[in-house]
């Protein structure tokens, strides 16, 4: 499924729970339905930066440590979805815990 807005194209690719997602390969397979060159596409993703909240924390200390550990050790989206790093842009936001 794809939608287009003023030069931008939104494509939805679905993967099963056990499948290893490979976005570039999926777009190559769907090239007849998708009017873009997957090698020239720019991919966007969000990235959350977790920071300590000033004042009284919202989470208990053990939950903050667990959340921080899991957040720091999560896999990079470019690696997870097998997207070429030179075509990948992350938009960041700060989350206070």
Task: Provide the pLDDT for residue 89.
Answer: 92
- Is residue 53 within 8 A of residue 96, CB to CB? The reply is yes
Rounded to 5 degrees, φ, ψ at 7 are 90, -10
Per-residue model confidence as pLDDT tens for the chain (97 residues): 556 667 777 778 888 988 888 888 888 877 667 677 777 888 888 888 877 778 877 778 888 888 888 888 888 888 888 888 898 999 988 888 7
The rounded distance, in Å, linking the Cα atoms of 31 and 89 is: 22
Task: Provide the pLDDT for residue 1.
Answer: 52
């Amino acid at each position: 499924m794809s939608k287009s807005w003023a030069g931008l194209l939104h494509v939805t690719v679905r993967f099963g729970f056990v499948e290893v997602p490979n976005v570039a390969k999926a777009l190559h397979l769907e090239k007849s339905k998708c009017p873009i060159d997957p090698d020239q596409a720019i991919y966007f993703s969000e990235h959350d930066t977790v920071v300590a909240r000033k004042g009284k924390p919202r989470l208990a200390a053990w939950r903050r440590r667990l959340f921080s550990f899991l957040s720091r050790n999560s896999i990079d989206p470019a690696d997870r979805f097998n997207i070429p790093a030179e075509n990948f842009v992350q938009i960041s936001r700060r989350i206070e815990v």
